[in-house]
Structure 1
Amino acid sequence: MTILVTGARGAVATELIDLLRRRGLPVRPASSRPSDPSIATCDLTDPATFPGVLAGVGSVFLYAEPAHIDAFVKEAVAAGVEHVVLLSSSSVLAPDADASPLAKSHLDVERALAAAPFLSTLLRPGAFAGNALAWAWPIKAGEPVSLPYPGSYADPVHEADLAEVAAAVLTDPALGGRAYTLTGPESITCAGQIDLLSQAIGQDIAIRHVSREEWKAEMADYVPGPIADALLDWQESNDGVPAELTPDVERLIGRPARTFAAWAQEHAAAFKR
């Protein structure tokens, strides 16, 4: 049966598609804005795109979009889908997850899948290593990186490792039907990530310690206010508090997870002036 991979233009999905194809598995990449005819249309905010893209699909790699998740589940059941692997977030584990716009969107999808008759597997990463790309513009411009909480810890996980995890649970039924909390191999501060990026590009990177309001003003064109507040609250809660790591990535892919330093070396060109 075909494996539907939604969000085909994303870093995790792109790597996952390559992994599955190298294993000789039938894959249907799908995106809300297909870049070429080989990618099907699946707009998770438009239920009209669901029936066609789900036809003949046995498994789904799903991004967490709650807008029409009930309709997606209904069409998936009608199509005979047997397994959905959701790229969720470890934010759902927070005590106040229902009050956070970041966590709530993932929780709503998790709950809809839990009520469905097919098997569902929940991948709950913390911080993506690729989140560091948000700093690329100021670094390339030779400007300081604005950080409201330089000492906030995260557990950055490499997107390629997430893709390997997804491939593992999609292809081994024994691994399905569970929730996995996925972290990188180290707990590292925002300032520590900047230091590793500096080493990777061979250039000094300055940090500008800003207030919450200053950071929100800088990001206003890119991050809606409620999401910005949720991100800031998350950083504040981790300020000076090392992230709790799990062994799930290594258990699922059979080797240690890639470090942030490795990610920085691989993506150095994105930051060089």
Structure 2
Amino acid sequence: MTEAVESPSSHPVGVDITRASIARVYDAALNGTNNYEIDRQVLAQVATVAPEVNDLAWSNRNFLIRACRFLATQGRITQYLDCGSGLPTAENTHQVVQRIQPEARVLYIDNDPVVLAHGRALLEENDKTKFVDADIFKPEQILENETVREFLDWTQPIALLQNGTLHHYLGDDYDQLMQTYIDALPSGSFVGIAHFLDPQTPEHSEIARRMEDKFTHSPMGSGVFRTWDQIAKMFGDTELVEPGLVLCDDWWPDGPRYHALNQVQECIAGAVGRKP
């Protein structure tokens, strides 16, 4: 079984405005309003080496939306386990999938008190969506959680989402962590992951490592840029859906590309895998 290391999200910040929150930093990057100066300082710090840093969050969010549309239509999935949901923003998982599959059930996992408060208020009238307070980097605890076991039908396919979360896990056993989740999923389930990428190319590796240094030495304390091979290991024995593991912006884009990707958009990758 996986024993998770202590990553920043294991100690949720909540309403402490003297510490940056992973959820609030993402909110700031998406032009949200549920963040503080300490959170915006993280982005400003990274922007000194990568002015387009906000595009990491947008590439991550847009990948999630497209992946959820695929899962609800082509995958015909009606159950979702969204790990590290973050603060509610435009086009959340339940909004995307329930528009296509009105009966879809979405279970969000997060342990940030601010995220939980916002989420529960937003979803108090939606009985097909729930929030559970738990650490996504401790899969055994989540898989044994009573609400998780009862709200989702573990005899039917489930979509497990780790969108923009695993790069905040600092341990080297990230593949084992994900395998614990995958082993528990029924046949026919899907796994969606988006992750900061070190492309290992002369023109982009340097910017990836510079961003990593700024993120990990910021008040947020995490943001690891892993290689293609490292990210691929997170999918375990699932079969990757075409086009496989690619840049987030290259995973079934909504239309033709009129503008080249910038240096930051070249540093985040995603894929969806199906468990046989």
Q: TM-score range by the shorter chain?
A: 0.3 to 0.5
Q: Which has the larger radius of gyration?
A: 1
Greater RCO, CA 8 A, separation 6+: 2
